[in-house]
Structure 1
Amino acid sequence: MSGEPELVFPADDGLFEETFSAENTYRVSGQEITIRQHYCANLGVSASVWDSALHLCQFLEEESLDLSRKRIIELGGGTGLVGIVTARLGANVTITDVPSALSQIERNVECNAPVSGWPSEAPAVLPLAWGRDHASFSSSWDFVLGADIVYVPESFPLLLDTLAHLCKDGAVVFLASPMRREHGAHHFYHSLLPQKFTVELVRRDPESNISVYKATLR
């Protein structure tokens, strides 16, 4: 299977036929974050702050995880919300996505720099094509995060290989997803991910149909 991101995540020409931008402020995990979203066919689903990102941030807040100096990598960062929040909480963060999404993430990182400076350092923003170039990334992470990245079944083997590499040194994975059967989410979490990981459902919101899963490499 090809690891080319444009083949795995094809553009949806009808998703955003008109190009426009919107700016929204979110208060999550005790942080006030302003996110600029640029809606266009080139960005597609990467343009939006999806509810799963907010649920993942809420979960991290509820768990009172100490993120200070923790090494975090976010997959499919989109707007960068999750990575920005965790960096403002003191983590050393790398936000990754396909190349077309990186400029949006970089702008949002810049716009959300704390006045007093980042507690640790500004998030790094890097391209990562699942299943193709993950080997160029370290396996020394504390947490691997992803929000609404489980929706293209063709990408699932690539995502699984990438997660396995990133978690070789013991990283804990937290993934938040809408549990849409038509997108294969149940199959990924209940059949594919358990092939290599111990998987636990740690948060479930029936109203939004969003679940957060914790996974550790076997």
Structure 2
Amino acid sequence: MEDEVMSEIHLGCPPATNKPFLSRFSFSGHHHCNFSVDKDGDLLLPRRNKNNFTTVPSPLSFTVTIQHSITSTLPLVGLQVWKSQLVLSEFVLHKTCTSSEFHGIVCLELGSGTGLLGILLARVAKAVFLTDHGDAILGNCANNVEINSSLFNPKTVVNVRELNWISEWPIQDTNCHCTIPDNSVSWFMFRYCWSSQDFEQVKNASFIFAADVVYSDDLTIALFSTLKRLMSFGCDKVLYLGLEKRYNFSLNDLNVVANGYACFRSYIKESGLCEQEKGTFVGKRIDVTHIPQYIKDYDRGEDVEVWEIKYIF
């Protein structure tokens, strides 16, 4: 029997059962979002048109309902909510409150898990691709998208797609076209596959997001292999990545070390500290103390980082 792990976000939840648990994350931006009112005191929602897509900023406060597991085996950690996912979600919400940078964009999330971050992006983006691996995680993500669909911009398209980082993706060929069969069992098998139209949209994705995907060296190596292909695909792309340093005692080092974080950093050249060479990832850390905490009742701690990363090719 595999050992189970538990995100500290779920501490205090009822004991684990076979049934999924519902958590409600209340986002409050009363002190951080700059909105104006008209002479009658009604809220003025500024609109920005980009490629004929009209977006409306997030309201001052709202609640996202997330179905998740309280504990899981390591291969199914995407069924839980993790701390860096919350911090990156707050970063995205702050951007949507204070700028139009994410309004009307096409974006892709890697390792979407429960879909919380993508649900926030769907409030202002034009198209959101939520990707992960495995039917259980993808099915739960799709369910959360459905639960929270009333929060989305009406014109936003949200797609849940299978993406295995060890596969040679993205590849465009005639086998990528998806035709949904009439048979419901077959439809379930094909519902998360990529279409040729998807690939055309991903070419135009200007932003990639990923949270809490750095915890295994093998997965980190596979992640950056995927990022090399993806960030060389179509238009220039910016990656926003949230992670949490996890420390373990190492017999080799005879010390407590964050090996997963060290593997991640081996791929990143810090901007301003080196020349930008072709074939390198250049990143800068975002000061998380400048990101307001829109979600209450959780402790960020000191080991969560958010990075802005570009690929030079």
Instruction: With the length of structure 1 as denominator, give the TM-score of the two structures.
Output: 0.83
Q: Write the distance in 2 (CA, Å) between the matches of 1:31 and 1:198.
A: 35
Partner-residue secondary structure (3-state), 2:150: coil
Q: Write the distance in 1 (CA, Å) between the matches of 2:219 and 2:75.
A: 18
Alignment partner, residue 176 of structure 1: 242
Tell me which amino acid in the other structure corresponds to 1:160: F
Alignment partner, residue 199 of structure 1: 283
Percent of residue pairs bearing the same amino acid type: 24
Compared CA separation, residues 42 and 86, structure 1 to 2 (3 A):
same
Compared CA separation, residues 215 and 114, structure 1 to 2 (3 A):
same
Report if aligned partners of 1:87, 1:119 keep a CA contact under 8 Å in 2: no
After superposition, the CA RMSD in angstroms is 2.5
Alignment partner, residue 265 of structure 2: 190
CA shift, 1:175, in A, is 0.5
Alignment partner, residue 144 of structure 1: 208
Alignment partner, residue 139 of structure 2: 103
Report if aligned partners of 1:177, 1:185 keep a CA contact under 8 Å in 2: no
Instruction: With the length of structure 2 as denominator, give the TM-score of the two structures.
Output: 0.59
Q: Write the distance in 2 (CA, Å) between the matches of 1:42 and 1:170.
A: 33
Q: 2:65 aligns with which of 31, 34, 56?
A: 34
Q: Does 1:90 align with 2:184?
A: no
Report if aligned partners of 1:203, 1:213 keep a CA contact under 8 Å in 2: no
CA shift, 1:148, in A, is 0.3
Tell me which amino acid in the other structure corresponds to 1:146: A
Alignment partner, residue 14 of structure 1: 3
Partner-residue secondary structure (3-state), 2:284: strand
Report if aligned partners of 2:126, 2:157 keep a CA contact under 8 Å in 1: no
Q: Where does the alignment leave 5 or more consecutive residues of structure 1 unmatched?
A: 1-11
**1:90-115 deviation line (CA, Å, top 9, x unaligned):** 34100000023110011000010116
Alignment partner, residue 7 of structure 1: none
Q: Write the distance in 1 (CA, Å) between the matches of 2:99 and 2:242.
A: 16
Q: Write the distance in 2 (CA, Å) between the matches of 1:174 and 1:37.
A: 23
Report if aligned partners of 2:106, 2:205 keep a CA contact under 8 Å in 1: yes
CA shift, 1:171, in A, is 0.7
Larger radius of gyration: 2
Q: Write the distance in 1 (CA, Å) between the matches of 2:281 and 2:22.
A: 37
CA shift, 1:193, in A, is 3.2
Deviates more, 1:140-149 or 1:27-36: 27-36
What does 1:64-75 align with in structure 2 at a 5 Å threshold? 64-66=98-100, 67-75=102-110
Q: Write the distance in 2 (CA, Å) between the matches of 1:42 and 1:131.
A: 17
